[in-house]
Amino acid sequence: MACIIEARGLRKTFGTTIALDCINLRVEEGRILGLIGPNGAGKTTALNAILGLTPYQGELKVLGRDAWTERDQLMRDVCFIADVAVLPRWIRVSQALDYVAGVHPRFDRAKAESFLAKTSIGHASKVRELSKGMVTQLHLALVMAIDAKLLVLDEPTLGLDILYRKQFYDSLLIDYFDRSRTIVVTTHQVEEVQHVLTDVMFINRGRIVFDCSMEELESRYLEVTVHPQQVAAARALKPMHERQVFGRSIMLFDAVANQKLDRQQLAAFGEVRTPSIADLFVAVLGDVPGDKPGNLAGQALGNYEGAARGTR
């Protein structure tokens, strides 16, 4: 399987601030990688390096090319939505289609048109006249019609309402993704991408602190809502994280780190399930020394708190 992104010792500093601290990264073809981290963790810097938007130290190959020096060729096979609302406000929908069709050799105009036909976006409208959700739809329509090998999305749904967010990922999965494409996505709305991802990576303070495929995540990590009378026994098994919800202890266990662990035993403590990425994120980042887990988790997963827990 072809390696789409390969980074070795990737490093980037802004003055005295270290944005990326010797990152090693490998993304293979056909994966959907979620890059998750608190604000200022280095996600966007990492993506900018991958997209050749910023110079870096270390080695970084994207589709076998040097991301910085061979950027112009790379952009034929790589597509990205760097942020919401980067489409120029003056451009008309028809002009945007004309322009991308004009400059991009791998753009399929008919595909973009058919995607737009499903929305309420008119060809004569200017971007400034569209709502934020519609602009994202337009951008997605343009990007999905490009036959790219790698698609990079940096907070693609930031500021959109839940309907648009859901629609965005559904379109991406149903109309765009196939096994020959690769997607890298950063987002704060972790719970919405959980079912989309094949791999997940946590990044904090310029380092990758967690890297796992979703299959591994499901077999390795277990979350138990422990009965009050079993709490002491459960704690003896050294959970990697414990939190309180409605007066009950919810403990997260790592089945690989703790070999003695067995599912039967855990089931006796209470309901066992696969943790959500958000809970895992809190558990993992909470272990990083010197960090205040509460703050970080609050920042990154702010709107997760509102979501009902334990419903899965």
Q: At residue 242, what is the residue type?
A: E
Say what angle helices 162-171 and 132-144 make with each other, to 10 degrees: 0
Nearer to other proteins, 89 or 312 (CB): 89
Order the strands of the 57-62 sheet from edge to edge: 17-28, 3-14, 57-62, 65-66
How near is the Cβ of 91 to other proteins at its closest, in Å?
7
Q: Tell me which residues touch other proteins (CB under 8 A).
A: 2-3, 48, 51, 53-61, 63-66, 68-70, 72-73, 75-77, 79-83, 85-92, 95, 98-100, 102-105, 139, 143, 149
How near is the Cβ of 249 to other proteins at its closest, in Å?
45
Nearer to other proteins, 77 or 271 (CB): 77
Q: Is 150 helix (H, G, I), strand (E, B) or coil?
A: strand
> Alpha helix (H) ranges present in the chain?
43-50, 71-74, 93-103, 109-117, 132-144, 162-171, 190-193, 214-220, 231-236, 263-269, 277-286, 293-300
Nearer to other proteins, 17 or 295 (CB): 17
Nearer to other proteins, 61 or 248 (CB): 61
Nearer to other proteins, 36 or 87 (CB): 87
Whether the CB-CB separation of 253 and 217 falls below 8 Å is answered with no
Nearer to other proteins, 104 or 165 (CB): 104
How near is the Cβ of 306 to other proteins at its closest, in Å?
29
By CB neighbour count within 10 A (0-12 exposed, 13-18 middle, 19+ buried), where does 78 fall? buried
Nearer to other proteins, 3 or 209 (CB): 3
Q: At residue 102, what is the residue type?
A: G
Six token digits for residue 74? 């790379």
How near is the Cβ of 135 to other proteins at its closest, in Å?
11
How near is the Cβ of 75 to other proteins at its closest, in Å?
4
Q: Is 273 helix (H, G, I), strand (E, B) or coil?
A: strand
How near is the Cβ of 300 to other proteins at its closest, in Å?
23
Six token digits for residue 291? 């960090």
CA distance 46 to 23: 9
How near is the Cβ of 98 to other proteins at its closest, in Å?
8
Six token digits for residue 101? 């069709």
